[in-house]
Structures are given as C-alpha cells and as structure tokens.
Amino acid sequence: MEEINKLTQREELKTYFETGKYPTQSQFGRFIDNYVHLNEFNFGLDIKASGNYTMKYYHFYLAENIQLSGRGHAIVEAEMANSAPKKIDGYIHVLSRYVGYKYLKIKLSNELDVDKYQPKIIIKRYKQRKTLKSKFVKDPGFYQELPPDAESWSRQSEYRVTSHEMEIDINPIHYFRPNKDYKEFYPSGTMKRPGSFRHTVHHRKPYSLIQMCLEIDVNGTKYRSQPTKIKIVLGGENDLMSYVID
C-alpha cells in the first residue's frame, strides 16, 4: 500500500509526459497531488508578548567617526550589573542602564509537521530610503538581514522552530540606535531628517518596526506565510519595552 500523501519525485513525474506516452488517470492524480496548495496548509504564526521577561544591563556607545569605525554605535550587554563600561577604540560611552523587556510567545497557527517542513521564523527590519555608495537608491521597506550581518549587531534574522509553541528572545534593544538620553533613541539604521518615524502617536516613545513570518520547506521549495508587523516600543524609566502586534 502506498503511503498517503507521499510526494512523487519530479524526475518520475516528467516521465509520465514524454513524447508518445499517454498519462494514466493514476499518474495525473500523482501529478496534481504534487502541487502545493498553501490554503491546505493555512500556515502562519500567532504572536504575542509572553508573561516572562528579563532585565539586562547595557552600555551604550556612539562612534567618534562613523566613516572610520564603519558603524555608528555599539550596544554591549554587561557581564555584571552596574559594572564600569569598557573602553572601545573609536567610540564614546554615552549611557549605561538597565533595560527590561518581555519575550515573544510564538504559536504555529495549525498542526504543521515540524520535522517534515523544517519551519523557520523570519524577521525583516524596516529600513528607510537610502542612497548607497554605488549611487543605487534602495527603496524603503522591510528587508531581511543576512544571518551573519544580523549577528554582528546582536540580532537574529532567522529562528529555527522546534515546537508548535515556543518563546524567543529577539533582544529588542538592538533594534535601536542610542543617544545620550534614553528617550532620544532612534530606530537602528535611521537618519535624523524631516519625516523620520520615531515616536509612537499615543505614548511618545521611540519605536522600531519589524515583520515576522513563517517559512516552510516543501519538497525543496521555500514558502512564506503572510507577515505580521510588530512595533517594538522603547520603555520609559521604570517600565518594560513592549510590542504592538498587528
């Protein structure tokens, strides 16, 4: 007996339609069954802030000369709370403080076979319109960072899904660019110019935008769910960083 929903290899499917051959009803059925109907999966993510949170102590630095340093800021998680900031060549220490934030609770929207489809959570970061050194103009929008690039900023652009429900730590403070005043932080990668988004409408707190979606692998082809937009809102002096999830 054949395994139910077993996919037929592409090379075998091609042989059904070679010149002079007439595919049988059974072969046509196999051909149709190998198409991926995403509405059958209805896959996606249910995202909300977890009840669990953490408090970390950070040192914040600004570059003395961004042309020489290659990046405008650095955020370093301290090994011990209230520890003295270490000197970093080419950077000026501007602030040290505790930052508290919640983890994100992720739930798959259906009973997807994790082992079979190897799902991953993909994060894209919003970037402003920018003219590159090559003079190419990059339109504003959500872009996924290459994993090594994200890691160099203490972020992650991909998370392997290991269960239908899980918590992830996105290290949200690393989506911001520091300033001497905590209230004057900007989204990482943005410029101080007219029209730059920065504060939430109601609470007047700095925020950064990301998108999160689920990627699955079906027979070697990658498919992604509709993205969920998340606004990461910087906390005040005594409250946690929060999330506004569309």
In DSSP notation, 223-246 reads EEPPPEEEEEE---SSS-BEEEE-
- Given pLDDT bands bounded at 50, 70 and 90, which one contains residue 198? low
Most trustworthy range by pLDDT among 31-40, 122-131, 159-168: 159-168
Query: What pLDDT does 193 receive?
Result: 52
Residue 81 has pLDDT above 90, yes or no: no
pTM of the entire structure?
A: 0.80
Nearest to 161 by CA among 225, 232, 220: 225
Between residues 48 and 39, the one the model is more confident about: 48
Q: What is the pLDDT of residue 94?
A: 96
User: In whole angstroms, what is the distance from residue 175 CA to residue 125 CA?
Assistant: 8
Better-predicted residue by pLDDT, 227 or 202 = 227
Q: Which range is most confident: 20-24, 187-191, 227-231? A: 227-231
